[in-house]
Chains A and B, each alone.
Chain A
Amino acid sequence: MGNVNVNIDGKKLRVREGVTILEAAEANGIKIPTLCHIKDQVPTGICRVCVVELERSRTLVGSCHTPVSEGMVIHTHSPKVTAVRRVIVELMLTAHTGDCVNDTNAENCVLHNLASDYEVGAPRFNVKVPRFYPAEDSNPYVRRNLSKCILCRKCVRVCASIPGKNILSVGYRGFRSKIVAGFDEALLSEKCRDCGKCIEHCPTGALSAPVKV
């Protein structure tokens, strides 16, 4: 594969054909936020915070999954893009019933940081019945607090990439979607070991290492 010419935020770049817009931008020092993307894994295009403006496209496009092609003119932080990202983050915070203000770990929360980067305060929106689930402490290796989950599915994917695992899936649909184990039950320790991969990838406080007492 050869190279192609693209223009990102006014910079004329020659990049390898077949890479994604996100990869091309990152390689040239342009930062685009992502929440569901796992480096070097097949993208999923779920969270939509990585959308960018592609000239002559009717909609914005997901940069994590759209390959570059010759002549593309891309804006990663135009007013349109920023406005859309802000609403998406606001939506994530709306359904997010976690008590993050008191969370000592909040500065490690990718969502929290994204919200401050984009100056998203308390969300204006409401939902009839938020997604609330009691926190789950039954597993010695992983504490699950799914009320904080933003359904990025990273945990599902990293778990599935470990041979013999694949113990998490998405259940239900639409707003009621939920990350489920087994028959939507507590994470069983005989299936889940202490690899910690899901905790490492979770962009919020939904998955964490239990506090040792």
Chain B
Amino acid sequence: MPEKRIVLGNCGATDPNDIETYLGKGGFKGFIKARDRLKPGDIVDQVKKSGLSGRGGAGFPCGLKWELARNAKAKMKYLICNADEGEVGTFKDRYILSHDPFGLIEGICIAGLAIGARQAYIYLRAEYHFLNDPLCRAIAQVKEKGFLKHLDIQVFEGAGSYVCGEESALMDSIEGKRGEARYRPPYPQARGLWGQPTIINNVETLMNIPHIIANGAAWFSAMGTAKSKGTKVFSVSGDVSKPGVYELEMGSSLKELVMDLAGAVDIKAVQVGGRHGNIIPGHMIDIVLSYETCLGPGAVVVFNSKRDIIDIVHNNMHFLNDESCGKCTPCREGTEVMLEILGRLRGVEGAAGDIDALEDLAQTMALASLCGLGQEAAVPVLDSLKYFRAEYVNRIEQSLFLRSYLGEELSKSKEGER
């Protein structure tokens, strides 16, 4: 399947600094239709019927979430666009924000109408500070056109924390607290920001909205698989000749993405990042990409046969350990212990019980962590142990041999001294 650019359709085709170019391409038609011809309930209905699911990682049905927020009774409701994009290997939201901010703002405008929010935030990660001013200017242009009478949009910048992309931590961060996860229920759509019903959607999710409203739910749900509708934008990096952002219909294969489009050869494994991701060994490259199989936020990192799997998992763990919020025990302590074990394995200093310990820790973290970060940390460990166990076993054997060899050498040299 070739690329199918819907979300990215206007990227490169319009000028991100000039709303007129966006309007010239049919921009804000979806919004005008939603505002003038549809009731809020109808908008929610359309989104529900389209089968759109969240693109931030969890794949939760977007329309269902909106309906809950819409039906919640409250004076104030909030809408948050999650532009914290911190997953290692994702950069699609950066690409969208820099090339088509108007598409996103139109999506936010429509979502605001649908759920009855009067205040929206775009939570932008601190690393994307360079996008803050352009985004604010784009919002100002939309306001000038009179499309923002119902809604105020503010850009809220983070301060360097991956876990703040997790929806509950994100809300704590906006509330001026440490960005730590909260337990659920209550879910944000019932009690979110400052205790009010709140909808949090990823940038890419919201980018789909104007197209669904303009072209109809049936048009959208005709694309994809049984449970994953529409397209997905992937960020591809690692051992590929053409790293970058690719948009494919849901249900395309990993092979099409990384080999045909991104030009990967000699693949040892591919990491599809996130809690709902996996490490996929080269021989399974035909796997279909959808929420039924494996799909997080769409971070795809390719490893060729020269890469060491333990190095890869260690680097993953280093990141997650550094970004753990530290609130719950399994993740705070578990990532630290796993890092210690993986660090030793990397330095050929493994011990006999290491594999068991990694497995026990991963199970515990996947089952008992408070949020997706701790659960996510288990994924690369369990997958690599599933597909590349021999490498761990070898490394431990090498370690044991090295230790006994060095031990003998040491005692020999001591004997020599005597």
Contact = CB atoms under 8 A, between A and B. Distances in A.
In the complex they form, whether A and B have CB atoms below 8 Å apart is answered with yes
A91 B326 contact: no
A174 B322 contact: yes
28 contacts: A44-B183, A45-B182, A45-B370, A49-B329, A51-B367, A59-B368, A59-B369, A80-B367, A84-B363, A84-B368, A87-B330, A87-B361, A88-B330, A88-B364, A91-B330, A95-B333, A95-B336, A125-B361, A127-B337, A127-B340, A151-B326, A151-B329, A173-B161, A174-B321, A175-B326, A175-B333, A176-B326, A177-B326
B334 A128 contact: no
A130 to B, nearest CB: 10
A126 B323 contact: no
A95 B329 CA distance: 11
Given A67-B185, A128-B340, A172-B326, A84 B367 contact: yes
Interface string A34-66: 000000000111111101000000011010011
Contacts of A48: 328-330, 368-370
B183 A62 contact: yes
The secondary structure that dominates the B interface is helix
B287 to A, nearest CB: 21
Contacts of B366: 59
Interface string A134-178: 000000000000000011000000000000000000101111110
Interface in A80-139: 80, 83-84, 87-88, 91-92, 94-95, 124-128
Contacts of B360: 83, 87
Interface string B325-349: 1111110111111011001000000
A175 B332 contact: yes
B357 A124 contact: yes
A126 B353 CA distance: 12
A34 to B, nearest CB: 12
B235 interface: no
A173 B333 contact: no
- SS class, residues of chain A in contact with chain B: loop
A60 B357 CA distance: 20
Interface string B368-381: 11100001000000
Given A45-B183, A127-B337, A62 B370 contact: yes
A170 B326 contact: yes
Given A173-B325, A175-B321, A125 B367 contact: no
A66 B327 CA distance: 17
Contacts of B353: 124
Given A95-B336, A127-B340, A174 B368 contact: no
B326 A173 contact: yes
Contacts, number: 112
Interface string B162-184: 00000000000000001000110
B198 interface: no
- Closest CB pairs A-B (n = 3): A177-B326, A91-B333, A45-B183
Contacts of A88: 329-330, 364, 368
A62 B328 CA distance: 11
Q: Which of A66, A83, A91 has the most CB of B within 10 A?
A: A91
Contacts of A94: 333, 337
Contacts of B361: 87, 91, 125
A45 B328 contact: yes
B286 to A, nearest CB: 26
A127 B363 contact: no
A151 B327 CA distance: 8
Interface string B203-246: 00000000000000000000000000000000000000000000
Nearest to A153: B327
A66 B187 CA distance: 12
Nearest to B334: A91
B324 interface: yes
Nearest to B374: A48
Contacts of B321: 174-175
A139 to B, nearest CB: 25
A173 B183 contact: no
Contacts of B183: 43-45, 62, 65-66
B363 A125 contact: no
Nearest to A152: B329
B367 A174 contact: no
A152 to B, nearest CB: 9
A47 B332 CA distance: 10
Nearest to B181: A45
Contacts of A60: 367-368
